[in-house]
Structure 1
Amino acid sequence: MATLRKRNGKWQVQVRRHGFPVQSRSFVSKADANEWARAIERQHDRQELGPDRKTLKTITLADLVTRYRDEVVPKKKGSAVETILLNRFLRYPICQKTLYDLSTADFAAYRDQRLTEPKYRSDKPVTPKSLKRELSPLSHMFRHALVEWEIPLRNPLDGLKLRVVDNKRERRLHSGELERLLEATTKGRNKFVAPIILFALETAMRRGEMLSIQFRLVDFERHSLVIPESKSGYSRVIPLTARAVAILGAIRQADAKPNDLAFPITPIALRLQWDRLTRRAGIDGLNFHDLRHEAISRLFELGLTVPEVASISGHRTLAQLMRYSHANQEAVRAKLSGIGRMNALPLAELTD
């Protein structure tokens, strides 16, 4: 906004806009003063003038993270997990720096620290892939602050190098592991863990999708389930096996307190239960998400086509779907052995 006043025979004009340095100048003619003010305002509108970075000296990174956590994160679908990540990040010294002093070098030092320090409750450091996921909310925070809050800063994560190896998982259930998992659930307190494991193997659903299942969206007669919104943002209807329907029916029938949620347990609680379960069962290297790998691979082994499996799993591209399909190596070897025996037969026997 421009203000004009006449002083000592000259017209003084001052242009102020939030996030930009104050511009002022004196003119003999009022018309010249007005024209200059309009030119400066046009430059502001076109972002041709650099922002006033002095305001960044009064804001720390902790201030920015806290505001983002309290105002923006609650509106996001993964708010619970993201809040935990941001609260942990706030404990690091980098958050005490002002936005004026913050640089990519500071995040590089934070990166190196996170990649070498022990992970919580583990003797292994965080992987580059996991760290990249942790930094993703911070990158969005910087973009949001610039656009929505008009804080004149640049994203210091834009130039940060983080070499991520595509370590796609191929873990499937080994012989006897499912039985050991189910046996271990009998020693736990949460009655929903075992049904969730079995339901995951029947449907190939994501953890978040399963924990959001509402009985009103289940068609028990037609054996189908509506997923209003998946990870990709699309809704879909998936067929349910007889066993999946039986699992949901048993939960609904046994629930003394009617609840529209089929599995009333939080994602964090399920993750903690899974960690205890695998330790109790003596199973190493098995993540809960690996059950989705197992289920999708089983669907292919049953003879379902790619479109049919995709309609169940919710994958939008073939490349994404193939990351989750891993053939049973024993079954493949058995087939190859059969082919080998066929090749070993005399040609006359093959043509009889």
Structure 2
Amino acid sequence: MASIGKRGDKWHVRICRKDHPTVCKSFTLLKDAQTWAKNTELKLERGEALGRETVLLSTLLQRYLISVSPLKKGHKQEVSRINSWLRHPLASRDAASIKPAEISLYRDQQTKAGKANASIRIELSLLSAVYKCAKHEWGYTLLSNPLSDIKRPPPARGRERRLEEGELDALMAVAEGTVLSSLILLAIETAMRAGELLSLRWDNINFEKRTAFLPDTKNGERRIVPLSSKALAVLKSIERTGDTVFAVSASYAISNAFKRATRRAGITGLRFHDLRHEAVSRLFERQFNTMEVASISGHKSLQMLQRYTHLRAEDLAQRLG
């Protein structure tokens, strides 16, 4: 709501809104003050940018949460990160007033607290995306991005964990008779991600052609996955109780069940996603070429495929002769 008052020979306008920093301006004529107040309030109602780009960071974060984040595949995880930023003191600040040095301080504090570099990089990238969206899509054309030149923590080294001798048997022993046992075997035989396994539908499996169709994968591409004899046997052993092969709601449920299974089996340092590494490495060990492996796994670049490929040196030594 705008308030107009005279101090000295000037008319002063003050506009206060709960979701926006206070805006003030002075005028010689009352008429000009009233016109500016009316136009400015109208702009704020429409969500348009003002000359100073005055908008709370929390307002931008909430708009991103509502209009952008739901369109992403990682929406659920991103909601948690946005809410974390909304709880930070910077969220109550004018977005244009936040300096790169303050973001650098946040980065250093998170690093000192022991947070993983990958998590910090994702948090900073998210905030940068909010600023970019505000500048290029929401009309805040004068808003500068304080994260543009901020150095990100170095990315973590790719995991190299593969199944050791006897580990698969130990896992299958503790998971026998559960959904997890089928998920483990299919992950190794197909190189599918946990989310892809959960999205697998019976009507997208062609048992005659030995293929599974994935209409919507993590990288946005469709993919047809060839099925080995072992994968077919696993699928045929699963009772059909619905449209999807697995009645599991979220990937984290698989991760948690797998973590419990590894503890019971006495296995350390192994994650469910490592089975995708194992599957890709096994394909190369079976003499599939790079294009064939990428077609099966869905990797879009050789660089990413290399991160998921860990050939055993002792096996390569045998081939050297």
2:97 counterpart SS class: coil
Of 194-203 and 319-328, more deviation after overlay is shown by: 319-328
Q: Deviations over 1:176-197 (max 9, x none)?
A: 222232334359xxx3222111
Query: What is the identity, as a one-letter code, of the residue corresponding to 2:54?
Result: T
Instruction: Note if contact 1:172-1:294 (Cα within 8 Å) is conserved in structure 2.
Output: yes
Cα offset for 1:88? 2.9
Specify whether residues 135 and 211 from structure 1 end up closer, same or farther in structure 2 by C-alpha distance, changes over 3 A only: farther
Q: What's the counterpart of residue 97 of structure 1?
A: 93
Specify whether residues 277 and 84 from structure 1 end up closer, same or farther in structure 2 by C-alpha distance, changes over 3 A only: farther
1:100 counterpart SS class: helix
Specify whether residues 70 and 185 from structure 1 end up closer, same or farther in structure 2 by C-alpha distance, changes over 3 A only: farther
Query: What is the identity, as a one-letter code, of the residue corresponding to 2:181?
Result: A
Q: What's the counterpart of residue 279 of structure 1?
A: 263
Distance 1:241 1:143 in 2: 45
Q: What's the counterpart of residue 84 of structure 1?
A: 80
Q: What's the counterpart of residue 306 of structure 2?
A: 322
Distance 1:318 1:326 in 2: 14
1:158 maps to 2:151: no
2:224 counterpart SS class: strand
Specify whether residues 258 and 209 from structure 1 end up closer, same or farther in structure 2 by C-alpha distance, changes over 3 A only: closer
Instruction: Note if contact 2:96-2:144 (Cα within 8 Å) is conserved in structure 1.
Output: no
1:218 maps to 2:208: no
Q: What's the counterpart of residue 16 of structure 1?
A: none
Specify whether residues 183 and 258 from structure 1 end up closer, same or farther in structure 2 by C-alpha distance, changes over 3 A only: same
The aligned runs of 1:112-131 (5 Å cut-off) are 112-117=108-113, 125-131=114-120
Cα offset for 1:147? 2.2
Consecutive unaligned residues of structure 1, counting only runs of 5 or more, are 1-20, 25-49, 118-124, 340-352
Cα offset for 1:217? 0.9
Query: What is the identity, as a one-letter code, of the residue corresponding to 1:193?
Result: L
Distance 1:206 1:153 in 2: 39
1:68 maps to 2:64: yes
RMSD: 2.8
Distance 2:265 2:146 in 1: 44
Q: What's the counterpart of residue 230 of structure 2?
A: 243
Specify whether residues 221 and 314 from structure 1 end up closer, same or farther in structure 2 by C-alpha distance, changes over 3 A only: same
Cα offset for 1:333? 4.1
Q: What's the counterpart of residue 332 of structure 1?
A: 316
Cα offset for 1:263? 4.9
Instruction: Note if contact 1:224-1:240 (Cα within 8 Å) is conserved in structure 2.
Output: yes
Percent of pairs identical after alignment? 39
Instruction: Note if contact 1:170-1:326 (Cα within 8 Å) is conserved in structure 2.
Output: yes
1:53 counterpart SS class: coil
Q: What's the counterpart of residue 170 of structure 2?
A: 180
Q: Deviations over 1:9-66 (max 9, x none)?
A: xxxxxxxxxxxx99x9xxxxxxxxxxxxxxxxxxxxxxxxx9612623xx2x233222
Distance 1:278 1:89 in 2: 34
1:246 counterpart SS class: helix
Consecutive unaligned residues of structure 2, counting only runs of 5 or more, are 1-23, 28-48
Work out which of the residue numbers 286, 296, 301 in structure 2 matches 1:302: 286
Q: Deviations over 1:77-125 (max 9, x none)?
A: 21112112222333333323331321212211211121122xxxxxxx2
Cα offset for 1:240? 0.3
Work out which of the residue numbers 252, 260, 273 in structure 2 matches 1:289: 273
1:153 counterpart SS class: coil
Cα offset for 1:334? 4.1
The aligned runs of 1:29-48 (5 Å cut-off) are none
Of 257-266 and 169-178, more deviation after overlay is shown by: 257-266
Distance 2:127 2:80 in 1: 13
Query: What is the identity, as a one-letter code, of the residue corresponding to 2:110?
Result: R
Larger Rg: 1
Distance 1:301 1:161 in 2: 38
Query: What is the identity, as a one-letter code, of the residue corresponding to 2:163?
Result: L
Could you state the TM-score of these two structures normalised by the residue count of structure 2? 0.77
Specify whether residues 165 and 149 from structure 1 end up closer, same or farther in structure 2 by C-alpha distance, changes over 3 A only: closer
Query: What is the identity, as a one-letter code, of the residue corresponding to 1:227?
Result: L
Specify whether residues 331 and 54 from structure 1 end up closer, same or farther in structure 2 by C-alpha distance, changes over 3 A only: closer
Of 88-97 and 107-116, more deviation after overlay is shown by: 88-97
Query: Aligned pairs, how many?
Result: 278
Q: Deviations over 1:179-230 (max 9, x none)?
A: 232334359xxx3222111111000112222221111111011110112133
Instruction: Note if contact 2:201-2:244 (Cα within 8 Å) is conserved in structure 1.
Output: yes
Of 147-156 and 68-77, more deviation after overlay is shown by: 147-156
Query: What is the identity, as a one-letter code, of the residue corresponding to 2:130?
Result: M
Cα offset for 1:68? 1.3
Of 152-161 and 95-104, more deviation after overlay is shown by: 95-104
Cα offset for 1:325? 1.8
